[in-house]
Amino acid sequence: MLPPGPRAPALWQTYRFVTSPASFTRAIHRRYGDVVGLNTLVGKGVAVLEAGLAREVFAAPPETFATVPVLESIFGPNAVISVSGEPHRKLRKLLNPRFHGAQVKGFLSAMQRAVRTHLEGLGRVAGRGDSLALTDVTQAMALDVIIETVFGAGEVDRDAARAALREIIHAFSPVLAGGGTLHKAWFPPWRRFVRAQDAFDRLIGDVVSARRARGPRAVEGEDVLGVLLSARYDDGAPMSDVEIRDQLLTLLLAGHETSATAMAWCIYHLLRHPVALERLRSEIDALGDAPAPDALTKLRYLDAVVSETLRIEPIVTDVLRLCREPFTLGGRWTVPKGGLVAVLLVAILRDPRVFDEPGEFKPERFLEKKFSASEFLPFGGGARRCLGVAFAEAELAIAVAEIVSRWELELASEAPERSVRRNLTMGPKGGVRVRVRGRRRREPERRAS
């Protein structure tokens, strides 16, 4: 039996959640509690709004759930975000070691180089008084990070790559995220997205062919493409070109947008909280004039700032699963086979039972307490937790550190930003408009007399 919930039609409930997830979640939580019946274009089932119940979902055997069809439609049938069951287990076993630890550490210098190169452009607008949308800066910067880390110094034409990547990002309309109903040739936004996918496929096909033609040493390069080309399943089989394409599209669409948006939100909250900004700058300054990227990723307060940003401004609002078999939740509610289970991250990350003063930006909470995996879950949870967590956290730490330690920015308006749907993720409606005052001058260290 499913719990009570709103009686509105599936189209209306989907529209409300896709366009205004925070207000929709607050409304149903206030009226129905921690488990709510839902009826959406993806399916009928339950919404989970409490950490303990989310733990039950993420602790269930992986074969309990399948992904929603909309993911395969967008990212491809072989993407790690799309597959379920045994194919997902095999793919995660193959990819997990290649996006953690030493492998990600090998990407850090490329990340820092791309960030620094791009930020030099701020000097052209410094001191002019004009405002710019920080999201424009962070999206372009995150795109350069993707190109640098995915393709390295290889054979890709960077201008062509930027053009193809920007087109597929801009072609993805938020209306496509609500379900596969509109993923049809007669729907103009879907046609545009498919055309952009085709251009992306040609780019990746050309680059992969050129890399393979250079021989084994090129295939085993230290960039992401080299990592994927050199990966081998347990039986010794390599990933197919189609599998590689699907993973790279996932990294681009899911990774680029989330990182760029999180960078902008992070700077926004630091500019609104000068005490936190100065504390962070002091921590970074202690590393010297040219801190190594690896050292930046180990800074505790910087990590707390990033975590608090991801908590208070969740980029991804939900985790959706379809039941392959009946699933009992909380010992009371049973979701039938084919039913939807939606873990609403946006509710759990702002739950006052877990986070004191959840609407306040307080990075120190992550220094004072360690939250469980079902309480702090901006990257999802369980066997399907985001594969690129280590990559994303490193990128965020390096980018935020480089911005705040080297540049003086100020918000162009005191009006608070509002989170709105941007493609697959949520982002600041106004783009976080800032003015660049100039390069930051570090305070000279005081010497004892």
pLDDT of amino acid 60: 94
Which amino acid does the sequence have at 145? V
- Over residues 160-171, mean pLDDT: 87
pLDDT of amino acid 448: 39
- At residue 155 the predicted structure's pLDDT band, cuts being 50, 70 and 90, is low
Measuring CA to CA, which residue among 386, 379, 384 is closest to residue 311?
A: 379
- At residue 356 the predicted structure's pLDDT band, cuts being 50, 70 and 90, is very high
C-alpha span between 124 and 126 (Å, rounded): 6
CB-CB neighbours of 298 under 10 Å? 11
- At residue 48 the predicted structure's pLDDT band, cuts being 50, 70 and 90, is very high
C-alpha span between 417 and 222 (Å, rounded): 39
- Contact present, 264 and 427 (Cβ < 8 Å): yes
Cα radius of gyration (the chain): 22
Q: Which two tokens stand for residue 35?
A: 């488990």
Above 50 in pLDDT, residue 447? no
Phi, psi of 409 (to 5 degrees): -120, 160
Fold assignment, 10-439: Cytochrome p450 (1.10.630)
pLDDT of amino acid 449: 34
**Percent over 90 (pLDDT), the chain:** 57
Per-domain residue ranges for the chain?
10-439
What is the SS3 assignment for the chain? CCCCCCCCCHHHHHHHHHHCHHHHHHHHHHHHCCEEEEECCCCEEEEECCHHHHHHHHHCCHHHEECCHHHHHHHCCCCCCCCCHHHHHHHHHHHHHHHCHHHHHCCHHHHHHHHHHHHHHHHHCCCCCCEEEHHHHHHHHHHHHHHHHHHCCCCCCHHHHHHHHHHHHHHCCHHHHHCHHHCCCCCHHHHHHHHHHHHHHHHHHHHHHHHHHCCHHHHCCCCHHHHHHHCECCCCCECCHHHHHHHHHHHHHHHHHHHHHHHHHHHHHHHHCHHHHHHHHHHHHCCCCCCCHHHHCCCHHHHHHHHHHHHHCCCCCEEEEEECCCEEECCCEEECCCCEEEEEHHHHCCCCCCCCCCCCCCCCHHHHCCCCCCCCCCCCCHHHCCCCHHHHHHHHHHHHHHHHHHEEEEECCCCCCCEEEECCEEEECCCCEEEEEEECCCCCCCCCC
Above 80 in pLDDT, residue 423? no
Between 397 and 222, name the one with better pLDDT.
397
- At residue 102 the predicted structure's pLDDT band, cuts being 50, 70 and 90, is confident
- Over residues 323-347, mean pLDDT: 95
pLDDT tens column, 396-408: 999 999 999 999 9
**Percent over 70 (pLDDT), the chain:** 96
Lowest mean pLDDT among 29-38, 256-265, 267-276: 256-265
pTM of the complete model: 0.91
Average pLDDT, the chain: 90
pLDDT tens column, 130-142: 899 999 999 989 9
C-alpha span between 248 and 412 (Å, rounded): 36
Above 60 in pLDDT, residue 444? no
Q: What is the dihedral of CA 192, 195, 199, 200, to 10 degrees?
A: 70
pLDDT of amino acid 330: 93
pLDDT of amino acid 118: 86
C-alpha span between 398 and 263 (Å, rounded): 10
Above 70 in pLDDT, residue 54? yes
CA dist 354 → 24, 342, 348 (Å):
20, 20, 8
Above 90 in pLDDT, residue 23? yes
C-alpha span between 17 and 352 (Å, rounded): 21
pLDDT tens column, 368-422: 999 999 999 999 999 889 888 999 999 999 999 999 999 999 999 999 999 988 7
Above 70 in pLDDT, residue 218? no
